[in-house]
Structure 1
């Protein structure tokens, strides 16, 4: 729904309009009620339960003291009339250093602030206990902590309805209060509400209705769809999980953080971090492990994705018994059907910075020093030929092309594709990959939350990065995939940005980080061995003589996930054949629908035909990690 009066308001020096008054009088700046989506039929029916939002992040309604503005004069009040006015005499939270002149009202508020700095206005019996900043209303005779928006708009009877005065509410000389609504991840909105007073006492029932209507308008104007967890809430949850793992890069070194988060859109506690990874390193092409017991790509997004695969497989095993239903997965039709995410459960990917590759080339070019930019502009490398991949940042002016890691030209070449390309492939094939596709229907990312992107005054950078991410992750694949087998498709995730900082990011370290951290952290929720630290693709601290010991094998390595798949297949009744356990590469290729989708994406004539492949020799090992019959070295697999 579009809200013209709000969406087109331009006041960068003050942020969002200070006040949205409600009155019988005509709107000051010509805003009509229909512009704000107030429909006569919604009262008492919309948002009947505040528990639709995940994690308890309900918008906080804070009453802010306001100086007297008698120059505007009293107006009558109508719940259905909304004005979009900006009162220049009030300093908004985004309004810089504008000072308010002192008067008797502000002086009396100062005395009140010293006595009771914030107020929790509970209509629940007694005038005492004013100790919080959030207004809460309780229905008369009810035992719950508050009433829903629907109940407030339908004039629910409140206990202690007339226990408070205008003085208690810090109302201005016109009997009005300032209500600021905030929801993490969205810009705030401030409303001016009249507090009807009879014999010196405020009628809280009417005030509750007006606050509820303001909340409804805020939700309609600010959220694209109800039940969505804000980007900042996802980032904060990931940062909180990371902080508990006690992983610290060496002083002066930065890293990248990525995580997969499940979001149940119909639950209060609907956010769950299932995997987390940090890192920005990968092994050279000549160091690839041949028996699947090490990781050659330790970028954060890749580690987080492999952790998500492990969690999904382990959760499928936990959910296999009928008496242990999973909150996140279900099995439509029962065994031997594949597992799938439950309805209204979506997968969110958080990355602390823009993914490497096509999504970040323009941002990196804009951030480089002028001397290097002039040098590259003087002799730009040519774009790679069709059906090939560019190495690192070569030909960075060419957009939409495949790229390999790393970006530095002085680093040895690798066979690892850039994270932008891998995210795009996951948007077609699913994050579960070829092996887990035999037990899971495609699992797609619904939203990508990106950090370290300037916002506010730097809207141009945000718009550029959004355009690049949309092109890199799905735009370059539109209309180029042909007929994909059901249920594979091109999924276009929403691109969102967060202002929540990552403590070990490049931008958070000052003055300048010396280098990227060589260590990588892996964490998987609910796993028997939830976390480990890797260096050069192996577990840190493991001596060379124990490298092939299963006890010290990285839990996200190909061999570890191969063995996990066998155990899950046996526990869940997933169809397998004996030959599955003689070759990892052969086991990956036995899902026909996945193979057809992979060929449509990476095969001859596909949009990712130039995908750099790892040699087939590096995936020829059995379930115990022993080398299988050596294949010709010129055969490749994705």
Structure 2
């Protein structure tokens, strides 16, 4: 950071020097992010584990609409993603999220592919990248898993420097003549793969997904005859569609727009920390709301619409951003105007800035990463809505009547 507090950097793009002014906020240098997964990410990183779990490791034959005859030659062109766990023989390619064989095909990418992309685009979203600079510690530092859920071969192929991402090693966005890990900007930053002993996982999480080999022979208990069946059948577990979200309360001393509205009059303490946001999500909507008729009330605070609306409110807030207002908004409030004038979420994500625009630099980094990830099909067509979706239709009707 320069003495005047700005974060301007002049990289060399060819023979033209460009000035990039990154957003004013950054993650504290001593903060690192780790992600814990109870099982291997679906997609490319888990292919070896899927093969080992089968009695017959032969790749499944899948009849595709684009090619009626079963064949090992699968078209990887745009719009024709591989089925989640099918075709074990094809490795290092993009796959869709696993689903039932009779489920409608989607373009939702597997966890392996999304995590691989995040090694370039960082943990910043379209919203947070407008406020937070892409420093080194805004990337995922490590992926933590049970030791028996890690295939070193599969993880290196999916995420490592010698796997499918190898063409991005040493790249930076914007282009930097002298590659420096500490310089602000987007680059390929592979995360560590860390393991937790199976015994520790079993003790902490007794309701884990059952393994392929279920039964274990044990010695007869005291007073039990040897003729008694000594096979232990573990309790059956079923996957659930309920998830919980919790964040700590803001440390700011004054009321802030970043404090989420949970709809509750009281906020409990969790882990001795004051709660800032807690939600229970069922089938993608907040508990107590119907999936068949989604409303603004049922939208999670982590939904695209709520995050877009939160960014808009932050940029309007005088209390939270008084110190940084001139850096973020500028004299002409260009950033706020671009968000306010966006007629759809698609417009909000679009950038018309030049090569110095941080949002454009992020999009270029993601574009190059998707080229390396073989078979990445764009997931578009669901971005025509705007922030009117956050207005309760019933409330809108009642206001119209008045």
TM-score under structure 2 length normalisation: 0.62
The residue matched to 1:440 in structure 2 has which SS? coil
Task: Decide whether the 8 Å contact of 2:59 with 2:88 is kept in 1.
Answer: no
Do the aligned partners of 1:428 and 1:491 also contact (CA within 8 Å) in 2? Answer: yes
State the partner residue of 1:418: 110
Check conservation: 1:392, 1:408, Cα contact below 8 A. Answer: no
User: Aligned equivalents of 2:109 and 2:291: distance in 1?
Assistant: 28
Structure 1 unmatched runs, 5+: 1-330, 455-460, 628-638
- Distance of 2:111 and 2:313 partners within structure 1: 30
Call closer, same or farther: CA 1:355–1:545 in 2, change over 3 Å: closer
Displacement, 1:441? 2.0
Quote the Cα distance in structure 1 between the aligned partners of 2:156 and 2:188: 13
- Checking the alignment, whether the CA contact within 8 Å between 2:174 and 2:361 is kept in structure 1 is yes
Deviation of 1:383 (Å): 4.4
Match of 2:349 among 579, 582, 588: 588
> Following superposition of structure 1 onto structure 2, how do residues 201-600 of structure 1 map, counting pairs within 5 Å?
333=6, 337-368=23-54, 370=55, 372-374=56-58, 376=60, 381-385=72-76, 389-442=81-134, 443-451=138-146, 453-454=147-148, 462=150, 465-474=151-160, 475-480=163-168, 484-485=173-174, 487-499=185-197, 500-501=200-201, 502-507=205-210, 511=234, 513=236, 515-526=238-249, 528=260, 529=262, 530-543=277-290, 547-549=294-296, 551-571=297-317, 572=321, 573=325, 574-575=328-329, 576-581=335-340, 582=342, 583-590=344-351, 591-600=359-368
Separation in 2 of the partners of 1:484 and 1:414? 30
Instruction: Give the aligned partner of residue 253 of structure 1.
Output: none
Distance in 2 between the 1:348 and 1:495 partners? Answer: 10
Q: Which residue of 2 aligns with 1:182?
A: none
Seen in structure 2, the aligned counterparts of structure 1 residues 333 and 535 have a Cα distance that, compared at 3 Å, is same
The change in CA–CA distance for 1:432 and 1:336 in structure 2 (over 3 A counts) is closer
Higher relative contact order (CA 8 A, sep 6+): 2
- Give yes or no for contact 2:42–2:110 (8 Å, CA) kept in 1: yes
Shift of 1:347: 1.2
Structure 2: runs of 5 or more not aligned: 8-20, 63-69, 176-184, 215-232, 250-258, 263-276, 330-334, 352-358, 392-402
Match of 1:230 in 2: none
> In structure 2, do the counterparts of structure 1 residues 621 and 578 end up closer, same or farther at CA, with 3 Å as the change threshold?
farther
The question of whether the paired residues in 1 share the 8 Å contact of 2:280 and 2:286 is answered with yes
Deviation, 1:588, is 2.0
- 8 Å CA contact 1:393, 1:408 repeated in 2: no
Q: 1:513 to 1:405 in 2, by over 3 A?
A: farther
Check the 8 A contact 1:589/1:595 in 2, yes or no. no
Does the 8 Å contact 1:439/1:569 carry over to 2?
A: no
Alignment of 1:128-147 (within 5 A): none
CA shift at 1:543, angstroms?
3.9
- Per-residue deviation at 1:513? 3.6
Render the CA deviation track for 1:216-265: whole Å, top value 9, x for unaligned.
xxxxxxxxxxxxxxxxxxxxxxxxxxxxxxxxxxxxxxxxxxxxxxxxxx
Deviation readout 1:524-549 (Å, 9 max, x if unpaired): 33264422222222122214697323
Task: Note the C-alpha offset of 1:406.
Answer: 1.7
Q: Which residue in 2 is equivalent to 1:325?
A: none
How far did 1:584 drift? 1.9
Deviations along 1:340-388, whole A, 9 cap, x unmatched? 22223211111111111101011111012x1x43574998743443665
CA-CA distance at 1:332 after TM superposition: 5.9
Give, in whole Å, the separation in 2 of the partners of 1:477 and 1:504: 35
- The size of the alignment, in residue pairs, is 281
Instruction: For 1:580 and 1:599, locate their aligned partners in 2 and report how far apart those are by CA, in whole Å.
Output: 23
Note the 1:61-72 alignment, pairs <5 A: none
Name the SS for the 2:187 alignment partner: coil
The question of whether the paired residues in 2 share the 8 Å contact of 1:404 and 1:415 is answered with: yes
Distance 1:578 1:374, change over 3 A: closer
Contact between 1:546 and 1:552, CA under 8 Å: does it hold in 2? no
Counterpart CA distance in 2 for 1:524 and 1:431 is 16
